[in-house]
Structure 1
Amino acid sequence: MKSLINIEKLSDEDEITFADYVIYRLLDYQVDTFFGITGGGIMYLIDSLARNSKTKLVSVHHESFGGLAADAYSKVSNNIGVALGTTGPGVTNLFTSLSAAWQDSSKVLFIGGQVKSADSSRINNFKVRQNGTFEFDAIDNYKSITKYCDIIQDVESGIIQLEEAIHSLDYKRPGPAYIEIPLDVQGKKLKIKNIKKIHSSIKKPSENPNRMSVDLKASENPLYIIGAGVLKSNSAKKLRTFLVENDLPYVVTPLAIGFSDSNDKNYLGVLSIRGNRSANIISQQANTIIIFGCSLHQQIVGWDPKLFNPKAKKNMV
Structure 2
Amino acid sequence: MQISGAEIVVRCLQEEGVEFVFGYPGGAVLEIYDAIFRQDAFKHVLVRHEQAAVHAADAYSRSSDKVGVALVTSGPGATNAVTGIATAYMDSIPMVVLSGQVSTPAIGLDAFQEVDMVGITRPCVKHNFLVKDVAELADTIKKAFYIAKTGRPGPVVVDIPKDVTQALAEFRYPESVHIRSYVPVTRGHPGQIKKAVNLLLEAKRPYVYIGGGAVQGNASAEVTEFVRMLGVPCTNTLMGLGAYPGTDRQFLGMLGMHGTYEANMAMQYCDVLVAVGARFDDRVVSVPEHFLSQPKKIIHIDVDPSSIAKRVKVDVPIVGDVKHVLREMIDLLRHQGTAPNPQHLSDWWETIEGWRKHDCLLYTPSDALIKPQYVVQKLYEITGGNAIVTSDVGQHQMWAAQYYRYNRPKQWLNSGGLGTMGFGLPAAIGAQLANPDAQVACITGEGSIQMNIQELSTAKQYHTPVKVVALNNLYLGMVRQWQEFFYGTRYSESYMDSLPDFVKIAEAYGHVGFKIEKPSDVEPVLREAFSPALKERLVFMDFRTDQSENVFPMVQNGKGLDQMDLPPHMHKVQGVPFENNRDYGNMC
Task: Compute the TM-score of the two structures, normalised by the length of structure 2.
Answer: 0.46
Return the alpha-carbon distance in structure 1 between the equivalents of residues 179 and 115 of structure 2: 33
Q: Say how many residue pairs are matched.
A: 291
Q: Residue type matched to 2:103 in 1?
A: K
Q: Find out whether 1:56 has 2:43 as its counterpart.
A: yes
Shift of 1:155: 1.8
Aligned residue number for residue 82 of structure 1 = 69
Return the alpha-carbon distance in structure 2 between the equivalents of residues 229 and 235 of structure 1: 8
Q: Find out whether 1:209 has 2:185 as its counterpart.
A: yes
**Equivalent residues in 2 for 1:154-193, closer than 5 Å:** 154-192=133-171
Q: Residue type matched to 2:79 in 1?
A: T
Dislocated runs of 4+, deviation >6 Å = none
Match of 2:99, SS state, is strand
Aligned residue number for residue 68 of structure 1 = 55
Q: Indicate which of 99, 103, 117 corresponds to 1:112.
A: 99
Q: Find out whether 1:275 has 2:259 as its counterpart.
A: yes
C-alpha deviations, 1:135-168, integer Å up to 9, x for none? 2222222223222222111221112222222222
Return the alpha-carbon distance in structure 2 between the equivalents of residues 200 and 79 of structure 1: 18
Return the alpha-carbon distance in structure 1 between the equivalents of residues 231 and 35 of structure 2: 51
Match of 1:77, SS state, is coil
Aligned residue number for residue 289 of structure 2 = 306
Q: Is the 8 A contact 2:273 2:299 kept in 1?
A: yes
**Equivalent residues in 2 for 1:132-147, closer than 5 Å:** 133-147=112-126
Q: Find out whether 1:243 has 2:219 as its counterpart.
A: no
199-208 or 246-255: bigger deviation: 199-208
C-alpha deviations, 1:39-68, integer Å up to 9, x for none? 121122223333332312222221112222
Q: Is the 8 A contact 2:223 2:244 kept in 1?
A: no
Q: Is the 8 A contact 2:12 2:138 kept in 1?
A: no
Q: Is the 8 A contact 1:78 1:231 kept in 2?
A: no
Return the alpha-carbon distance in structure 1 between the equivalents of residues 216 and 168 of structure 2: 36
Shift of 1:203: 4.4
Return the alpha-carbon distance in structure 2 between the equivalents of residues 266 and 279 of structure 1: 11
Gaps of 5+ in 2: 302-588
Return the alpha-carbon distance in structure 2 between the equivalents of residues 289 and 272 of structure 1: 15
Match of 1:84, SS state, is strand
Return the alpha-carbon distance in structure 2 between the equivalents of residues 19 and 233 of structure 1: 33
Return the alpha-carbon distance in structure 2 between the equivalents of residues 200 and 72 of structure 1: 27
Structure 2 CA distance for partners of 1:30 and 1:227, relative to 1, 3 Å: farther
Rg (Cα) greater in structure: 2
Q: Indicate which of 123, 127, 138 corresponds to 1:148.
A: 127
Q: Indicate which of 212, 217, 223 corresponds to 1:228.
A: 212
Q: Is the 8 A contact 1:211 1:233 kept in 2?
A: no
Q: Residue type matched to 1:260 in 2?
A: Y
Gaps of 5+ in 1: 1-12, 122-127
Q: Find out whether 1:297 has 2:281 as its counterpart.
A: yes
Q: Is the 8 A contact 1:301 1:308 kept in 2?
A: yes
Return the alpha-carbon distance in structure 2 between the equivalents of residues 305 and 187 of structure 1: 54
Shift of 1:207: 5.1
Q: Is the 8 A contact 1:236 1:259 kept in 2?
A: yes
Return the alpha-carbon distance in structure 1 between the equivalents of residues 4 and 228 of structure 2: 51
Aligned residue number for residue 398 of structure 2 = none
Return the alpha-carbon distance in structure 2 between the equivalents of residues 281 and 107 of structure 1: 34
Q: Find out whether 1:24 has 2:15 as its counterpart.
A: no
Return the alpha-carbon distance in structure 2 between the equivalents of residues 23 and 30 of structure 1: 11
Match of 1:93, SS state, is helix
Structure 2 CA distance for partners of 1:34 and 1:212, relative to 1, 3 Å: farther
205-214 or 40-49: bigger deviation: 205-214
Q: Is the 8 A contact 2:94 2:154 kept in 1?
A: yes
Structure 2 CA distance for partners of 1:306 and 1:188, relative to 1, 3 Å: same
Shift of 1:238: 2.4
Structure 2 CA distance for partners of 1:230 and 1:257, relative to 1, 3 Å: same
203-212 or 249-258: bigger deviation: 203-212
Q: Percent identity?
A: 27
**Equivalent residues in 2 for 1:33-44, closer than 5 Å:** 33-44=20-31
- Coordinate RMSD, CA, aligned: 2.4
Structure 2 CA distance for partners of 1:208 and 1:240, relative to 1, 3 Å: farther
Return the alpha-carbon distance in structure 1 between the equivalents of residues 250 and 188 of structure 2: 21
Return the alpha-carbon distance in structure 1 between the equivalents of residues 21 and 285 of structure 2: 36
Structure 2 CA distance for partners of 1:46 and 1:258, relative to 1, 3 Å: farther
Return the alpha-carbon distance in structure 1 between the equivalents of residues 69 and 155 of structure 2: 10
Aligned residue number for residue 255 of structure 1 = 239
